[in-house]
Amino acid sequence: MKRNQPKIKIISSGKYVPETIVTNEDMEKLVETSHEWIVTRTGIHRRRKASQETTSDMAYMAAVEAINRVNYDKSKIDLLIMATITGDQMTPSTANFIQAKLGLDHEVMSFDINAACTGFVYGLEIASALLATNRFRAALVIGGEILSKIVDYTDRNTCVLFGDGAGAMIIEPSDDPKDTAYFFNAARGDTNGSLTVKRFIEMDGKKVYQFAVGAMEEAIHKVLDESGLSIDDIDMVIPHQANERIIQSVAKSTGIPMSKFMLNLSEYGNTSAASIPLTISEYFDSHEVKGKKILLVGFGGGFTWGSAILQL
């Protein structure tokens, strides 16, 4: 049965990354590893690390960049969704803190979601569905993480992978058929704990890799089938920036050229829920985006995975 698809107007995008850069050479001083080993297996050269910033600080700065990019009237924002696994505290939600820092003192529905690295794509679908009710004027969807506070810097298999950052997007409801958005989001109960966070991130790299390649391939095919589009209709694929080898395997299995994937993981590493929106913002920075179609695809702990096709 064909589902009703939400129509959303992509208004703006923004990002924030901390100033502190942690290079692979810096990691060599902490654990038994090497620049060559990290690059060969992940594609990562450096990552950012928060010093004084909180997660809500970084999310706020990403939101401000999105607002300022188009001189947006922030009083129109009445829905704020924050995707994170490293919120400021248990409660109130990090979204509430962002709302206060933005000075949104009118009635706003604000809440956090946790779908790990797929969180931003989950958040976009939730926001799009809520906008379709005609109860909200505009949504601010953010992904932000300070993964450095949950990384074990004695575990060489995980500590080299992760970085800190935030990305934001402003969307509004639309009546224009060309603004139809398509989503596929799912999860598979992870009973063996292949990717978990108790105090620190723990990961079975081999199992995660195997899951990621299959999940991303499926998510790409699902959202293309749902939309009736082919990969030729897509201007850019923006994947979760976890590991360059994973993305290369997905490109090979789907027949999509690597040139169609936008990558920045060499600069930022895996920033979990911030990964996709941060990359979208860099796409806005480096391309003429009006009229372009982008395909978002991600996977994360849970195991979660998902995809979206958006008209910019």
Residue tagged active-site, from 24, 96, 117, 185? 117
The question of whether 192 is a catalytic residue gets the answer: no
Residue tagged active-site, from 96, 185, 243, 270? 270
Are 62 and 178 contacting, i.e. CB atoms less than 8 angstroms apart?
A: no
The string of DSSP letters for 3-44 reads PP--BEEEEEEEEE--SEEEEHHHHHTTSS--HHHHHHHH--
Q: Which of 157, 123, 119, 138 is nearest to 271 (CA)?
A: 119
Alpha carbons 274 and 116: distance in angstroms, whole number = 10
The question of whether 159 is a catalytic residue gets the answer: no
Alpha carbons 278 and 298: distance in angstroms, whole number = 13
Pull the structure tokens for residue 299.
């996977």
DSSP code of residue 233: G
* Residue 300 three-state SS: strand
Q: Which of 179, 122, 171 is nearest to 13 (CA)?
A: 171
Q: Which of 256, 243, 292, 1 is nearest to 117 (CA)?
A: 243
The question of whether 117 is a catalytic residue gets the answer: yes
The string of DSSP letters for 115-136 reads -GGGHHHHHHHHHHHHHTTT--
Residues sharing a CB contact under 8 Å with residue 189, sequence separation 6 or more, in sequence order: none
The catalytic site residues sit at 117, 240, 270
